[in-house]
Structures are given as C-alpha cells and as structure tokens.
Amino acid sequence: MKEFVLYTGCTTPVRLPAYEAAVTVVLEKLGVRLIPMKDVNCCGAQYIESLSHTAFAAMSGRILAIAESMDRDILAICGACSGSLKAVKHDLDSNKVLRAEVNELLADEGLKYTGTVEVKHLLQIFNEDIGYDAIKAAIVKPYHGVRLAAHYGCHVTRPPEIVHVDDPENPVIIDTIIEAAGATPVDYVGKTRCCGGPMLAMDEEVANKIGLDKIKNIRDEKADGIVTACVFCDIQLTQVQFGDMAGDEPKIPVLTLPQFLGPAMGINFDSLGIQLNKIDPQAILQEM
C-alpha cells in the first residue's frame, strides 16, 4: 500500500471536513493510505505570500521539512496549499541562500529541508499513483446519464512548469474520472477560469460575479452537477449560488471529486459526508 502524509491546509478541516473524510476513505479503498500531519502551520498562501516571499518560503518550507522527517511524500487537497508547497519546493531547490535562511529558522526544532519529498495534488494521485484502469476496476455502481462539469482550480494546474498536474489550457483528469465512473463530462465556456474565491478578500461583489459567471456557463450546458478538486473552489461555487445575486434558478449541486467517486465505488454516503453538502446532490446520486 502506498503511503502519503496528508496536508489538509487550514480550510478543509473546518469548512469542508467531508472532503477530508471522503479523500481518506476513497484513497484507502484504491490502495493509498494517508497519514495525518501533526503540529503543522498554515502554508502562507495569498496573505503571507503577498508580504514577504522569504517568510512564505519559511512557512511552507517547515511543512516540507516535517514531511521529510516522516519520510513520506505530501498529498495536498487544496489548490492554494498544493500550489504554495510546490512553488516553495521549487524555490528552495534552486536558491541556496533562501534554503540556508529557512533551514536556520527550522534548526531549533531539529527540522531540516533537504529536498527529498515530492508534493502531489490529489489529481496526481489519481492519475499517477492509482491510474484510470484501477479506478474503473473499483467502480461497482456506475452512474448513468448524469452530466457533470469539471472545475479544476487555478492553482491546481497553473503554473504548469512548477505544478506538473495537467494541461493548463485543456485539463482532462477530472473529466476522465467522471467518464470512468459512468457519467458524462460536459465542456463549458471558461472551464479553466477562476472560481473567484481569491477575490473575496478584496471585493466580495466582484468575487461573486466571477463565481456566478461560471455557474451560468455550466448551467447553459445543462449540467446536473459540478465536480471540484480544491476546497476553496468547492466552497465558493456553492456559496455564490446562495447569494443575493444568484437569482432563483435551481441550484447546481457541487461535489468534491472523492465524494463523486465514492458512491460509485460502493462507499456509503455517511462516510463521505454527503449529508453535510449544502446543495443536496441526491438527484445525481440516484442515477446509479
């Protein structure tokens, strides 16, 4: 059984614990065991990152060094975290001065960054470590006639030369998994555009307009649901549908990728936290 340490990031454990639970059970069933990380800190994305590149490198660097001490590669399930950890790993591997400064800060705790661990986003685990054949083989209750829109998340696929996940202009991993589980992936205008989540801090109205524009494009293709691979995207694409600007069209259920895959693998809804979803996905889950 392959093992990874799981870096949940700040948001998932509090705002979307069902994602954490679903990832853990689905991967376990596909032969990947996750070991929780203890005593970690925020990766520094967006906020610390904007003020001091060095402080940002130290915060993400500490997470990388803890994974090294646990002797396992890291799985990150949040787009921002996976992006940060990968970018900082790239910097620490190519910039000796920065690495020395970060290691000086880590030395008090007996930690050291040497560059031995890899950082993977969830999509890479499915694509590289499990593979589509094994996913197909694990499907016991395939979906029928459900149309689903994949939303990849900006920091999951960009910048491609650092994150190495999928084609940034035409990503396929989520769509391939949707198909493997028997459902129909649908394309839509602006598929690789942002959910608007990172804009919430500076301008909520603009952030929500961006999110709703995506919902509209997905609705235009008559999709039954949206499948996500980042906690921020999942929350943003859900919450914009409840806002003042949302209108009264029926809401489109949003599912994290493991929550979509789990039921088709015969995993019960409770352990996937389906009951916690703010937009009831029953309409999708019935079609099996």
Residues that bind other proteins (CB under 8 A): 10-11, 13-15, 17-18, 20-21, 24, 36, 38-42, 44, 46-55, 58-59, 62, 105, 108-109, 154-155, 158-159, 168-169, 190, 192-194, 196-199, 201-203, 206-207, 209-210, 213, 271, 273, 276
Cα 266-268-274 angle, rounded to 5 deg: 120
CA atoms within 13 A on the CB side of 242: 9
Least distance (Å) between residue 73 CB and other proteins: 21
Residue 103 or 271 with smaller CB distance to other proteins: 271
Least distance (Å) between residue 285 CB and other proteins: 18
Residue 32 or 272 with smaller CB distance to other proteins: 272
Residue 15 or 144 with smaller CB distance to other proteins: 15
Buried b (16+ CB within 10 A) or exposed e, 70-96: bebbbbbbbbbbbbbbbbbbebbeeee
The burial of 29, by beta-carbon neighbours within 10 Å (0-12 exposed, 13-18 middle, 19 or more buried), is given as middle
Cα Rg of the chain (Å, integer):
19
Least distance (Å) between residue 55 CB and other proteins: 4
Residue 119 or 194 with smaller CB distance to other proteins: 194
Residue 41 or 282 with smaller CB distance to other proteins: 41
- How far apart CA 253 and CA 28 sit, in angstroms, is 25
Q: Nearest CA to 125 among 21, 32, 233, 29?
A: 32
The answer to whether the beta carbons of residues 40 and 62 sit under 8 Å apart is yes
**SS3 assignment, position 86:** helix
Least distance (Å) between residue 184 CB and other proteins: 26
Structure tokens at 188: 């839509």
Least distance (Å) between residue 232 CB and other proteins: 11
Residue 55 or 283 with smaller CB distance to other proteins: 55
Least distance (Å) between residue 146 CB and other proteins: 25
The answer to whether the beta carbons of residues 165 and 156 sit under 8 Å apart is yes
| 204-to-77, 196, 231, 251 alpha-carbon distances in Å | 24, 9, 18, 20
Least distance (Å) between residue 197 CB and other proteins: 8
How many other C-beta atoms can be found within 10 angstroms of the C-beta atom of residue 40? 17
Least distance (Å) between residue 221 CB and other proteins: 19
Residue 3 or 270 with smaller CB distance to other proteins: 270
The answer to whether the beta carbons of residues 42 and 71 sit under 8 Å apart is no
Residue 8 or 146 with smaller CB distance to other proteins: 8
